[in-house]
Amino acid sequence: MTAVEPSQSRLVQLDRAQALVPLAKAPFGRVVFSHQALPAIRPVNHLVEAGGDVVIRTHTGMALLCRAALSEVVAYEADDLDPGTRTGWSVVVTGTASLVSDPVELARYQAALTPWGEGDMEHLVRIRADLVTGDRLVRGSTGS
């Protein structure tokens, strides 16, 4: 028996299908990539394709992603954690980033993804969902 302090929660792993559900509903997330050999992270909004691929629209400050991380493996994270109840979820999609260039796809994604900030928003980036992991923090002691 594992004792769990009343203030603590436990992590339940989500499988790929379970993890994609909250990710698709999340209003935004964070793209994680390397820039000049340093870890970099930036919040953006996204949409999730049926297969789990994540599409993000880059703004001025994200030009570095376009230059540095295309054809590189990046991670995309979203979460919704409640510090009060210590419950919630987090999901990470890891895979290769590529520029969306197909005009039909571009138009569809541009219509679906309104950028939050002003600026040059020319680039749409698809992150292939090679690996999808997720956790849910739930209250209570360990059950099966």
Residues lying near a second copy in the complex (CB under 8 A) are found at 2, 4-5, 7-11, 27-28, 30, 32-34, 38-43, 45, 59, 61, 73-75, 77, 79, 81, 83, 86, 90, 92, 94, 114-119, 135, 137, 142
The H or E element that residue 112 is part of is helix 103-112
* Nearest approach, Cβ of residue 32 and a second copy (Å): 4
CB 93 within 8 A of CB 131: yes
Smallest separation (angstroms) from a second copy to the CB of 75: 4
Nearer to a second copy, 4 or 107 (CB): 4
Task: Write down the least CB distance from residue 94 to a second copy, Å.
Answer: 6
| Nearest CA among 60, 57, 62, 70 for reference residue 123 | 57
CA-CA distance, 87 to 77, in Å (whole number)?
17
Nearest to 119 by CA among 43, 65, 75, 57: 57
Min dist CB 84 to a second copy, Å, is 9
